[in-house]
Structure 1
Amino acid sequence: MTAPTRRPGPPMGGPPAARMMMAGGAPTEKLQDFKGSTKRLLGLLAPQRLAVGLVLLSGIAGVALSVYGPRLLGHATDIIFAGVIGKSVPAGVTKEQAVEQLRSQGENTRADLLSAVDFTPGQGIDFTALAHLLGWVAAVYVFAWIFGVIQGRITARVVQVAVYRLRQDVEVKLSRLPLSYFDKQPRGEVLSRATNDTDNIAQTLQQTFAQIVTSLLMIVGVLGMMFWISWLLALIALVTVPVSIWLTTVIGKRSQPNFVAQWSITGKLNGHIEEMFTGHSLVKVFGRQGEAQQTFAEHNEKLYASSFRAQFISGLIQPAMMFLSNLNYVLVAVVGGLRVASGSLSLGEVQAFIQYSRQFSQPLTQVASMANLVQSGVASAERVFALLDAPEQSAEPAPAGLDRVQGRITFEDVSFRYLPDKPLIDGLSLEVAPGQTVAIVGPTGAGKTTLVNLLMRFYEVDSGRITLDGVDIASVPRPELREHMGMVLQDTWLFGGTIAENIAYGADEFSLDAVRQAAEAAHVDAFVRMLPDGYDTVIDEEGSNVSAGQKQLITIARAFLAEPSILILDEATSSVDTRTEVLIQRAMTTLRSGRTSFVIAHRLSTIRDADVILVMEHGSIVEQGSHSSLLAAGGAYARLYSAQFAAAVAEVD
């Protein structure tokens, strides 16, 4: 059974060219719910609470050690400074005597400085104590690095597992979405949400989750050490914090809409590229390369503009924070120097405090600079969540146990419409006996393909019901229902793989002999044997190395191998020549034997031997009967038949 193609659905607001021209707007688009989307994004990590807890614990341990390091270095500076001072003071004089002597000489500032230093007159630097202390410093930073490595490894696993599950959710969601969703969404837009946006979420979480945690812990730890050393200097260091928060908020609000626009336009650009690449032959045939390039250029220009604005505006945060950090450093250095001169603080304490002021400014700058990543990630998350929240097709009922299907199909007063105000099928009733071949003809838009789409449950009926062997198909799970159906479409679909694999796509179990038999029945074997690799010939996704008619034959062979109970042929011979069509019709007669079959055809020569021919117009059956009886009636079918050169059909016979 081949994959279903995208069928006509609700209009999308004008012809394709007009839709593409309108698709690049709304550069001022805003996030619908930044806080809610952020909370939901973090909720992706909830199933890994233990691992997240380990990230926090390792972050706390690493930060605690990193914060304690400057304090130890400050003590090392005090040891060196005390040794220098002690060696300059004669031995035998006490510290108090040396300070008093300086005061008596009027050198009060120097006396205040020495009073805060713990030195021994006549004794130089205690290298043993210094080496011991530096050993502790080295151990502290080594263990801080180890905890950082542990945190990074766990974070990478947590993030990748979360995104892995998100991709699974997206894949499952795509399989549950009704066909009408894809009718309304460009394929490139859907692909962009499933690939580009999920990758951006992974990058955002990887680069910000652990870093934000570490930065916040660093801010708290450093702030505590700063107040421990000097509450006055700590208050001075905090002067720039409100300004930093205000700047980050103001700049962030201005950059948010541009990040949303960036990812929205990215999806539209991907949709345009996918559409133009898929139909590149038609674009060239109708000379629309210039228009396609112009549309691409417009999308590309808007993407460039929104991306530039987003990155530039959010990029202003880091230099602004660096300016405030430097201003903070100057204030702390000046006031700290005065405190050392007055003897209120030791030189090592001021040195440690200056390091802490740098450590305090650095995480603030990091958190602020990550605002652009966070906003970009949340914008992508909102797009993915919108996909995950899209209405799904109705839930699958319990298995109906359709083991053996006879093929009796009944349409009972069925009505359906794509748009609420535009009926397509209204009150249609039809009964098909097991093994009958039902041909459906009529002008384009009459509802022929829609009829079989309702039978396959690609769409649900608005009213009435369809039964299979007396069982309402709405009470049958879609996979169970479709197990008994085979479908060959006008638009062929092949995947990247060998010819044998493509033929065997619809069969659970198969052998190479069965594949060859199906290929012979569909007249595929003849041209396959002429290929260098035979059935092992690899077909690319576009099937560009086989002709359109050969692709059609391969899909027909696929239906032969699947051996469905109900066969649906939607213009299945539209891409083959007249001679091959005659051969396929004979094969189709064999294939349809004992199976209920629906054949949609525009070439009436292909359905002359159908048991019942339905003529549809505007969603209703206006005529039904055999080929001869409908010709004798001289109605709609006779008019269609006479327009297709009945003499040519007789010549083929």
Structure 2
Amino acid sequence: MATSTPQGSLYSFRRLFSYSKRHRQDFYLGGLFSFLNKTFDVAPEILIGIAIDMVANQEKSFLARFGIESVQHQLIVLSLLTLAIWAFESLFEYLHLLKWRGLAQSMQHELRVDAYSHLQKLDMSYFEDRSTGGLVSIINDDINQLERFLNSGMNSLIQVMTAVLLVGAVFFALAPNIALFAFLPVPVILWGAFYFQKRAAPLYAEVRERAGLIGARLANNISGIATIRSFASEAREEKAVSKDSQDYLTSNRNAIQISSAFNPLIRMAVLAGFLATFVIGGLMALRGELSVGSYGVLVFLTQRLLWPLTSLAETVDLFERAMASADRVLNLLSIPIGIEKPQSRTGFPQKTDIRFDDISFAYSNGLPILHHVQIQVPAGNTIAIVGPTGSGKSTITKLLLRFYQPTGGKILIGDHDITALNTQELRENIGLVSQDVFLFHGTIYENIAYGNPQATREEVLEAARQAYADEFINKLPQGLDTLIGERGQKLSGGQRQRISIARVILKNPKILILDEATSAVDNETEAVIQKSLNKISQNRTTIIIAHRLSTVTHADKIYVLSAGKISEEGSHEELLQKKNLYAQLWNLQLRHEIVHDEVKS
């Protein structure tokens, strides 16, 4: 569990301030407006003292020293000063609200966009052990927490410090001996603030962690609702969500218990300072050592100085929550980018032959997947990679797409090492049709057009026809404009697959990868999809990853992968004649299909 310290929280604030360097002027202006607003906010108490002095001493009052001897004139001057002070206080309140709230919105927007942009560039290995809900919690909830602090917390901190400085100056100017007693609670309050901050910091870090965990649980369960229902596990999952929610509630309560204890401490310290000013100042005024007007100023200013400190507990609470959130967001932004580092576009190779040259690969857990793999794919040819489940077939395509970096060897397109190519340019020229079809929540049209956002409606329709998707699209009430639900849940597996094929057709890539593209559909749907795949792979460099061998018999060359190594290679007929692993797999699948057909008949 993440923890924090007072230095950690201040360090987090410095990190946040450093990140926001493009908004430094807004920070400084917001601070200036908050300072001036508090300056004019304190001034009316001074005017009240001057007014009391004017009533008590009249022609001998404080204002009379400036040549304004008439009480009526003094009253007019006080009225004009009051009007000006209230006007300026209102003006700077408007300006500081405008500046801080505007800054909060701007930084919220930029942090969210920057965090999402950075997340998109992180290596795929980063996502292996992280949940979608946890990442969404950082990009959404934590950034919202920062926004709440910038909206009001920064202004509160600045105004409290301003009040201490300004009121302190007036106190020491009018009655230094009273000032000492009045300011005695301030160190206690500041000590309390740092003490409770130290106690609360790790608790709020835990709160943010718990919030991420419950977000992950909810996101996972909502996306897996069909599986939960199929196992009749609703009660079990409800109990798990309840436990996560209870853990979040408990961690919040622990933090609240600490922060809530701060407020009574401040109130008692405020009372002590007020009573000191009230009693000592009163005695001095009775003895004639302090004017009645000055006494009035001090009494009112004690309230103005100390009472706002009662909100310090709430501000510190907001600050701790925000800094715990800032750490999570800034930690995400500080994760180094590996494969996705920006590279200049040099143009995609004209020759699209592919060579996997002595490729080895292991995932971050150290488990080896591929061992010295050699594969040649001549331009315009179709090769297939087959083998038992877990042999590393799909890993090869992930390496070609640069989702991962080989631990040994290199991959070349033409004469170019793909590590020297711009990753965006590389992927723009590769089309992937996977068994795990991902469709976005939206219309069929939007999902097909994802392959080429500039395509016309006619081009989208043509892509659907080539993928044999128009057969079912035309039967839908809204046709291409039919909403398909999240992940295309309103469509069958075969329909989703055909839309994904149409999307790749519209992309018109130079290299095509078919990764178990028909493994999850029935024989009838497979025949339709296979017809479409055969058509789009013509005159295109194509790699087919398949478990079902009947789909690769037409390939120019077949590579058999076993335990991460190429065990044999050749055409379908050549491999059958060798009577090794490929022939065994073929005969096994053939017998399975015969038995399946007999059962159906």
Scaled by the length of structure 2, the TM-score of the pair is 0.93
Asked if 2 retains the 8 angstrom alpha-carbon contact of 1:63 and 1:221, the reply is no
Q: CA deviation at 1:651?
A: 11
Residue 5 (structure 1) aligns with: none
Question: Which residue among 259, 264, 287 is the counterpart of 2:209?
Answer: 264
Asked if 2 retains the 8 angstrom alpha-carbon contact of 1:552 and 1:575, the reply is no
Q: CA deviation at 1:257?
A: 1.2
Residue 525 (structure 1) aligns with: 470
Separation in 1, partners of 2:16, 2:87: 34
Residue 180 (structure 2) aligns with: 235
Residue 78 (structure 1) aligns with: 53
Separation in 1, partners of 2:37, 2:463: 66
Question: Which residue among 343, 354, 357 is the counterpart of 1:397?
Answer: 343
Count of paired positions: 591
Separation in 1, partners of 2:36, 2:222: 53
Question: Which residue among 486, 489, 502 is the counterpart of 1:541?
Answer: 486
- 1:6-21 matched pairs, under 5 angstroms: none
> SS in structure 1 opposite 2:278?
helix
What is the one-letter code of the residue matched to 1:538?
Answer: L
Q: Is 1:41 paired with 2:16?
A: yes
Per-residue CA deviations over 1:189-210 (Å, capped at 9, x if unaligned) read 1111111111111111222112
Residue 395 (structure 2) aligns with: 450
How has the CA–CA distance of structure 1 residues 361 and 647 changed in structure 2, closer, same or farther, with 3 Å as cutoff? closer
Q: Give structure 2 stretches of 5+ with no counterpart.
A: 65-69
Q: CA deviation at 1:132?
A: 3.5
Separation in 2, partners of 1:299, 1:250: 29
Residue 515 (structure 1) aligns with: 460
Q: CA deviation at 1:182?
A: 0.9
Separation in 1, partners of 2:62, 2:74: 16
Q: Is 1:410 paired with 2:393?
A: no
Residue 405 (structure 2) aligns with: 460
Question: Which residue among 126, 133, 143 is the counterpart of 1:181?
Answer: 126
Question: Which residue among 217, 221, 226 is the counterpart of 1:276?
Answer: 221
Question: Which residue among 363, 375, 378 is the counterpart of 2:320?
Answer: 375
Separation in 2, partners of 1:243, 1:59: 25
Separation in 1, partners of 2:447, 2:313: 53
Q: CA deviation at 1:118?
A: 11
Residue 152 (structure 1) aligns with: 97
Q: Is 1:299 paired with 2:256?
A: no
> SS in structure 1 opposite 2:142?
helix
> SS in structure 2 opposite 1:33?
helix
> SS in structure 1 opposite 2:324?
helix
How has the CA–CA distance of structure 1 residues 497 and 643 changed in structure 2, closer, same or farther, with 3 Å as cutoff? same
> SS in structure 2 opposite 1:539?
coil
What is the one-letter code of the residue matched to 2:538?
Answer: S
Q: CA deviation at 1:399?
A: 2.4
Separation in 2, partners of 1:410, 1:544: 38
Q: CA deviation at 1:58?
A: 2.4
Asked if 1 retains the 8 angstrom alpha-carbon contact of 2:9 and 2:201, the reply is no
Question: Which residue among 292, 295, 304 is the counterpart of 1:347?
Answer: 292
What is the one-letter code of the residue matched to 1:486?
Answer: G
Asked if 1 retains the 8 angstrom alpha-carbon contact of 2:359 and 2:408, the reply is yes
Question: Which residue among 106, 109, 118 is the counterpart of 1:161?
Answer: 106
Residue 38 (structure 2) aligns with: 63
Question: Which residue among 22, 46, 52 is the counterpart of 2:27?
Answer: 52
Asked if 2 retains the 8 angstrom alpha-carbon contact of 1:219 and 1:363, the reply is no
Separation in 1, partners of 2:581, 2:224: 35
Most deviating of 363-372 and 171-180: 363-372
Q: Is 1:285 paired with 2:230?
A: yes
Residue 217 (structure 1) aligns with: 162
Separation in 1, partners of 2:445, 2:492: 17
Q: CA deviation at 1:647?
A: 7.7
> SS in structure 1 opposite 2:589?
coil
Q: CA deviation at 1:412?
A: 0.8
**Rg larger in 1 or in 2?**
1
Q: Give structure 1 stretches of 5+ with no counterpart.
A: 1-25, 87-94, 96-115, 120-124
Q: CA deviation at 1:472?
A: 0.6
Most deviating of 631-640 and 170-179: 631-640
Q: Is 1:207 paired with 2:207?
A: no
Per-residue CA deviations over 1:542-575 (Å, capped at 9, x if unaligned) read 3222222211111011112211111111111233
> SS in structure 2 opposite 1:430?
strand
Per-residue CA deviations over 1:320-353 (Å, capped at 9, x if unaligned) read 2112112221121111110110011122211111
Question: Which residue among 540, 544, 547 is the counterpart of 1:599?
Answer: 544
Asked if 1 retains the 8 angstrom alpha-carbon contact of 2:266 and 2:310, the reply is yes
Separation in 1, partners of 2:220, 2:42: 56
- 1:47-126 matched pairs, under 5 angstroms: 47-82=22-57, 126=71
Residue 22 (structure 1) aligns with: none
